[in-house]
Amino acid sequence: MKFFVDTADTAEIRDLAETGLLDGVTTNPSLIHKAGRNFLEVVREICGIVAGPVSAEVVATDHKEMMREAGILRKIADNIAVKVPLTVDGLKTCKALTGEGTMVNVTLCFTANQALLAAKAGATFISPFVGRLDDIGTEGMQLISEIRLIYDNYDFATEILVASVRHPIHVLEAAKIGADVMTAPPAVIRQLFNHPLTDRGLEAFLADWQKTGQSIG
């Protein structure tokens, strides 16, 4: 499973990229606002940090204006994936852009039927929001299972990009189901490293090493 980080914080992106685990980045208008920087400037910087797809979202709601904004975004770098909402105009834009060879991430997916439409429109990625579904009392990971089944039934090339990931269990369940990608905030990715037995084991090893009075090199 590919790991994307969901942030516009370039310092966090650089640090995670150094682990070799980072395959791409997703952003959205809210994350750009939180970063407090110029939109195009920060997206350009992110594209220079990671070689994988960097999702940059249009803010228009009609097809014509979406295409105009997408034209600006895809000139930033070759690894831009234009992010569009799962609406009629969004899917029209998706079809047009993928037909021209541009990667497209269709976002705000909440049903398997919506995911089916996005795949038929040629989406590179579909972004189902599992955390937001959990928030309203439904099981977000069930949606991932349904999309995986449908996409496998018809050999759709669209990659399932699990979004709105809130905790490590979401990552684990997505991997067990066979999602292609997950995107999570930096804090959630860092939680994947943590286990108290790892910490205790390291402390014991270091304590025993100090008792030897030795050093390496």
Question: What amino acid positions are annotated as catalytic residues?
Answer: 83
- Give the C-alpha separation, 135 to 3, whole Å: 23
Beta strands in the chain (DSSP E): 2-6, 24-26, 54-57, 80-85, 103-109, 125-128, 159-162, 181-184
Answer yes or no: are the C-beta atoms of 183 and 6 closer than 8 Å. Answer: yes
Q: Which two tokens stand for residue 21?
A: 């685990």
- Give the C-alpha separation, 172 to 188, whole Å: 12
Answer yes or no: are the C-beta atoms of 91 and 114 closer than 8 Å. Answer: no
